[in-house]
Structure 1
Amino acid sequence: MARVAEPEFIIDSRGRKRKVVLAVEAYEELLEDLHDLSVALARRDELLIPWEELKRELKADGV
């Protein structure tokens, strides 16, 4: 993973953080993480296959 610049915060007159400026790379990583979480949530009720069983099936299929 590439190192990205630290976020910059825009604060209001009371010193509270109100906005953030991110490097494009950091923003894209956040979007990818959000997508991954969405997929995991959508698939959480699917049947799980043990890794050893999957390896056997792949080997039998010639993969």
Structure 2
Amino acid sequence: MKGIQFVVNEAGEKQAVLIDLAEWGELWEDFYDVLVTHARQDEEEMSWEELKQQIELVRGTLSQNTIN
């Protein structure tokens, strides 16, 4: 496959892959997004309002007393 190279071990088994991002960059981004989504599937969820409050706390625009 053009733009794809496999790295193999001494036994000829595929160990890694090199991807030409100029040719396959968009596909790689899609694949990477799936990997990130899978890795984060067990993370705690929060509402949009909770996220905004946390961002404001980090930025220092919301006092700790404002949060329930």
Shift of 1:60: 1.8
Other-structure match for 1:8: none
Gaps of 5+ in 2: 1-21, 61-68
Other-structure match for 1:12: none
Shift of 1:38: 0.7
The answer to whether structure 1 residue 62 and structure 2 residue 59 are counterparts is yes
What letter is aligned with 2:26? E
Q: How far apart in 1 are the matches of 2:39 and 2:58? A: 27
Greater relative contact order, per chain length (Cα 8 Å cut-off, separation 6+)? 1
Other-structure match for 1:52: 49
Other-structure match for 2:31: 34
TM-score scaled by length of structure 1: 0.53
Shift of 1:52: 0.7
Shift of 1:53: 0.5
Q: What is the Cα-based RMSD across aligned positions, in Å?
A: 1.7
Deviation >3 Å, runs of 4+? none
What letter is aligned with 2:36? V
Gaps of 5+ in 1: 1-22
What letter is aligned with 1:56? Q
Q: How far apart in 1 are the matches of 2:33 and 2:39? A: 10
